[in-house]
Structure 1
């Protein structure tokens, strides 16, 4: 019985939280940043953006297998998924010679790194001013 009550409370809280996030995102405009991956690298080696909302469009240019996208605040342990900015994950793996987008990602001033562990690529700098 306690487990059932916990699950119900969790589900209701999750629903309200999701609805609040949806409401916050309505009306927000997000800029699209396109990043292309080739075998073992991104073609754009660093980015400088203004503080705001972004959708990352990740293109797989003949890598030969699926690729992805990871964004982490600089200085955080990139190998720990808890440090990844989850909204910046592509909504599904990027198949060869195709592209996929991320959800809206709100970036505040600071430094970040982006990379693809599936390709794999080096870590590249993203500065938000």
Structure 2
């Protein structure tokens, strides 16, 4: 009986997590970015503060690509500075598109890059 109660509690928790995640995704705006060989086609964006999902397209790079977002001024080479929710949920295969989890962007500047492509680390998103 104890195991059954624990199993029910676990299922309820997981359903709550999935529901919350889906609700956040539906309330998020989408920022679509495209990668070609060695670069993002969009270099500078300006958006309002809010919750965003990053949609990353791999336009014939020839291999998988990814996405990293960092507050401007922080060391991009240190993973602890990466905004983990902005990572795509899986590597973006050639000719495919993948999304990140919902990511809150507050006023300020951010830089983004792909460590797999590799792209410049001075592409910017300004939030105002």
TM-score with structure 1 length normalisation? 0.80
| Separation in structure 2 between the aligned mates of residue 55 and residue 44 of structure 1, nearest angstrom | 16
| Separation in structure 2 between the aligned mates of residue 41 and residue 114 of structure 1, nearest angstrom | 11
> Does 1:39 find its partner at 2:34?
no
Three-state SS of the structure 1 residue aligned to 2:27 is: coil
Greater shift in the superposed pair: 25-34 or 113-122: 25-34
Query: What is the CA distance between 1:24 and its match in structure 2?
Result: 8.5
Query: What is the CA distance between 1:23 and its match in structure 2?
Result: 4.5
| Separation in structure 2 between the aligned mates of residue 38 and residue 24 of structure 1, nearest angstrom | 30
Three-state SS of the structure 2 residue aligned to 1:93 is: coil
| Separation in structure 1 between the aligned mates of residue 64 and residue 52 of structure 2, nearest angstrom | 22
Residue 110 (structure 2) aligns with: 112
Residue 62 (structure 2) aligns with: 64
> Does 1:126 find its partner at 2:125?
yes
TM-score with structure 2 length normalisation? 0.81
Query: What is the CA distance between 1:25 and its match in structure 2?
Result: 7.6
Query: What is the CA distance between 1:116 and its match in structure 2?
Result: 0.4
Moved >3 Å (runs of 4+): 22-28
Three-state SS of the structure 2 residue aligned to 1:106 is: strand
| Separation in structure 2 between the aligned mates of residue 97 and residue 25 of structure 1, nearest angstrom | 26
The 1:60/1:46 distance shift into structure 2, 3 A limit, reads same
Residue 103 (structure 1) aligns with: 101
Residue 3 (structure 2) aligns with: none
